[in-house]
Structure 1
Amino acid sequence: MTEPAAVGSVADIVLPPRSGPYRRNAWGFGLGTLGRDMAATMVSMFLLVYLTEVVQVSNAVLAAITVVLVVMRLFDAVNDPVMGLVVDNTRTRWGKFKPWIAGGALAWAAATVVMFSDWGVEGPLFVVVFVIVYLLWEVAYTVNDISYYGMLPSLSRNQIERERIGVVARVCANIGIFGFVIGLVPITSALEDLLSSAQSAWLALAVAVAVILLVFQTITLVTTKEQIAGERVHTPLRELFSVIARNDQLLWVTLAMVLFMTGYTVTTSLGLYYFTYIYGDVGMYPVFAAILGVSQIGGLLLFPLASAKLGRRRVHLLATVSCAVGYVVFLFAGTSMLFIGIAGVLLFAGQAFIQLLMMMFIADSVEYGQWKLGRRNESVTFSLQPFIYKAASALASGAIGVTLILSGINDAESAADVTDAGVLAFKIAMMVVPLVLVVVSWLILARRYRLDETRYAQIVADLRQRESAQEVRDGES
């Protein structure tokens, strides 16, 4: 494999310089994230907003739904490796990833529309219907997500190429995420005026998101092509958890990132509540979201430059410090939008680095697992990425539900209805707890993760020697 040129500029990252399969894979895979991350964001960040502000569920129903979200997301997260095993054992003329990507996308789009439809029920029956619809949504999401990100390690084995593909993917994902976040309030307000119903406005938005999801997933299906086929070895179900448990580097990444993403999800999910009930001006939320979006995308574009000059370990430390300082500034910012904006830049630029590092750490664990166990399991390995997001989302959902109830925000009509004690409880949940989780996450990876650039290069070289030797043996037989 020809080595790519060294990273030299932001332009090189935005438009990968190589032609052929690498460039097609970078854009084809990256663009596929745009619509799917919109759909994921609509539910992961704003489902509770929809339920409390539009449907206006009672505290009793909110408490029941909170328990449901925690249990179902944890249960679904544990099942992700099983889906990874199914994908890894799939053999079709279209490869093992694309059939599941396509089927998952179709079901996911449909479930998203149903999620924000008017079910016409209340009380306990509402909770029952919610369980059914949410389960369908989670299953569809799992099928698509496991197969989609499982494909990433097969697109290239080169770390620099993977970083660039990852950057394009995360930039497109963040355009989808923050495009949705920024547009949520003005778009739903405009649709509500047009349709005379807040619920109809959210349903119309869900339909639009579902269409965008399908369009961009189609781009991925048409343009991407696997470059690393891997061994045609069947992995039996009885060996599934052994494949994960014996990959110690993957386990340390998973633990550290569950902690980090739990804190991050709590912060982002409480954002709209913060500007509505703490800051007192919901109109500033789209402005804040725009600042965060630009910060994240800027951080992603700068990542390969920073990684090339500093190495991943130093980049991880720098990003963690940036997040920690951002939380401290946010905590003491008061009503100053200037300091809130500074906190957002620090927090989300650092978070962009860490999320991309997480993707790269997991991708590199594929080769580590192949080197250590003699079997290449991309989807099983990458099933730990959605596991991270779902486990973090489950823990965060519990924290968010408890925070909204204990702070009094679920019963509040405006910022004036929230007591000082409620404000303090809210800020501790949104800023202090995530700060602690960020620091603990860094400590785990700093002490336990060993796949730096040098070690990874040694593993890949050894794998290539094994593959060459196997080709010789196959030729002689």
Structure 2
Amino acid sequence: MAARPAPRSPEALFARNRWAFSVGTLGRDMVYALVSLYLIVFITEVLNASDTFVWWAGWLILGARLFDAVMDIVMGSIVDNTRSRWGHYKPWIAAGAVASAACTLLLFTDLGLPDAGYITAFALLYLLWGLTWTMNDIPYWALLPALTLDQKQREKIGALAKIFATIGLFSVVVAILPVTQALGSGTRAWFLFTAAVVAIMVVGQLVTLVGVREPRLSVEQPKVTLRGLWRVVVGNDQLLWTAIAMVLFMTGYVTTTSFGIYFFKYAYRDEGMYTSFGAVLGVAQLTGFLIFPLFRRRFSRRTLYTGATATIVAGYVLFFFAPMNMIWIGIAGLLLFVGQSFVVVLMLVFLTDCIEYGHWKLGNRNAAVTFALQPFINKVGAALGTQIVSVVVVVSGINSAATPDDVTPEGLLMMKLAMLVLPLILIVAGYLIYRAKYRIDEAFYTRIVDELAQRGQLTADPGVSATDHEK
């Protein structure tokens, strides 16, 4: 029998896991940005679909994402119940990455069908994409809280992961128009761009699968039943309030970002400036993720969330009243996305802490089910945001306009209100819910972990991987 390799030091294991996990978000967020932000653009601006198709496509995307969001919770229970030599998470991460890559390519393909046939094919493809993405998304993010119990280490992993995710997201935002235009601007150009993005995702996922060694943090839990699944979600009050606050925030965020190309093409009258603006936003978000750990050393999470929300509010107000000048719009974008980056990291760690809270309150550690609320939140927010955009571009006359001059001032105002005022209301509402209902601060979390350890329900052994225990 071969000797088992000597355990790594906790510090070395943490460093390896932090980087290997974070690199995997690069391509994932490129694919997610492509589908969530630009699928509707591909339909309206590249395929030149009719108002009828755009209308139905919007509702189909909404229905598919809401269905898929519910399936996230079911997938969480499947992952928690998985027992394999590779642990709970890696088999599903691998299968989901390959399957969702194939579906993404098909979504950005001109199927050459009439409206009725294409609507049917689109509905099936989009639903399949959502389900296969769930196969990867749930176990991937559930892996994060399985890497450490330390709040500060989780924040470090989350911040680094979001840095790579932001690079991926804004690489797509900045590159999609110039690259597809260089390739010919048609459906073939978009397919080739999609193929490159998908390839980057697969390579990044391989880094995570090979590089991450999951420590054993808790005793093995009994499998969750469908009846118990409801209790895991509903019985965790902190998880539910966090989810509501995050849905409101993500709906506002996705609505604003999804209007980007339309704003610069029809209101600013220079579509090419969208790429420059995307670069500004990417730098702003990266800056936010980089400076978050510095601010976290001096301020509590609650203080940071309050400051981030105030920054976002200032950005929206400035953007709404700014003249069509890139200096003022750029400053507004910086405020919006620096504040947004802080909220994204905070929401991520709020969810991770809900895992220990649910373990403490309900008696079982259901990490994947609990963390399934993050993709659930993202999908509901993206679904509602995309639907707002699809309805507005039809009702305002933007989709049927041959040129920017064909859009009326009333139509432009409708787009501006949907892009800036409605999201601001939603984001502030999410913050107010957090302030009123969320109570897992640093002291309470320490108490939770101490009590779980006293019960014998936590067995942190950072030098030994979970796969070693499976063997």
Q: TM-score, normalised by structure 1?
A: 0.93
Runs (4+) of structure 1 exceeding 4 A deviation are 468-471
CA distance in 2, matches of 1:298, 1:69: 32
CA distance in 2, matches of 1:465, 1:309: 31
Alignment check: 8 A CA contact 1:276 1:414 kept: no
Q: Does 1:376 align with 2:365?
A: yes
Quote the RMSD (CA, aligned, Å): 1.4
CA distance in 2, matches of 1:169, 1:243: 27
How far does residue 470 in structure 1 lie from its aligned partner after superposition?
Answer: 9.2
Letter in 2 for 1:446: R
CA distance in 2, matches of 1:155, 1:56: 46
Q: Does 1:118 align with 2:110?
A: yes
Aligned with residue 425 of structure 1, among 387, 411, 414: 414
Aligned with residue 166 of structure 1, among 143, 155, 158: 158
Letter in 2 for 1:180: V
Aligned to 2:288: 299
Aligned to 2:300: 311
Alignment check: 8 A CA contact 1:323 1:348 kept: yes
Aligned to 1:252: 241
How far does residue 149 in structure 1 lie from its aligned partner after superposition?
Answer: 0.3
Letter in 2 for 1:50: F
Aligned to 1:28: 20
State the SS of the aligned residue for 1:114: helix
Aligned to 1:335: 324
State the SS of the aligned residue for 1:228: strand
After superposition, the C-alpha distances for 1:326-379 in whole angstroms (9 at most, x for unaligned) are 000000112011110010000000000001111100000000001111111110
Letter in 2 for 1:75: F
State the SS of the aligned residue for 2:269: coil
372-381 vs 413-422, which deviates more? 413-422
After superposition, the C-alpha distances for 1:36-70 in whole angstroms (9 at most, x for unaligned) are 11001101000000000000110011111111011
Alignment check: 8 A CA contact 1:299 1:349 kept: yes
CA distance in 2, matches of 1:48, 1:470: 47
Q: Does 1:226 align with 2:226?
A: no
Q: Does 1:388 align with 2:377?
A: yes
Q: Does 1:84 align with 2:69?
A: no
Aligned to 1:460: 449
Aligned with residue 361 of structure 1, among 350, 353, 362: 350
After superposition, the C-alpha distances for 1:179-227 in whole angstroms (9 at most, x for unaligned) are 11101111001111xxxx6100000011111110100000000011112
Structure-2 change in CA distance of 1:163 and 1:39 (3 Å): same
How many residue pairs get aligned? The number is 451
Alignment check: 8 A CA contact 2:217 2:458 kept: no
CA distance in 2, matches of 1:295, 1:237: 43
Alignment check: 8 A CA contact 1:366 1:381 kept: yes
Structure-2 change in CA distance of 1:24 and 1:351 (3 Å): same
Structure-2 change in CA distance of 1:153 and 1:469 (3 Å): closer
Q: Tell me which of the two structures has the higher relative contact order, counting C-alpha pairs closer than 8 angstroms and 6 or more residues apart.
A: 2
How far does residue 19 in structure 1 lie from its aligned partner after superposition?
Answer: 4.1
Alignment check: 8 A CA contact 2:76 2:368 kept: yes
CA distance in 2, matches of 1:315, 1:434: 20
State the SS of the aligned residue for 1:107: helix
How far does residue 228 in structure 1 lie from its aligned partner after superposition?
Answer: 3.3
How far does residue 162 in structure 1 lie from its aligned partner after superposition?
Answer: 0.3
Letter in 1 for 2:204: F
Q: TM-score, normalised by structure 2?
A: 0.94
How far does residue 468 in structure 1 lie from its aligned partner after superposition?
Answer: 7.5
CA distance in 1, matches of 2:370, 2:459: 24
CA distance in 1, matches of 2:227, 2:457: 30
Aligned to 1:93: 85
How far does residue 289 in structure 1 lie from its aligned partner after superposition?
Answer: 0.5
State the SS of the aligned residue for 1:95: coil
Letter in 1 for 2:276: V
Q: Does 1:55 align with 2:43?
A: no
After superposition, the C-alpha distances for 1:376-434 in whole angstroms (9 at most, x for unaligned) are 11100010000101111111122111110111110112221111101110000000000
Aligned to 2:435: 446
Unpaired runs of 5+ in structure 1? 1-16, 472-477
Unpaired runs of 5+ in structure 2? 1-8, 461-471
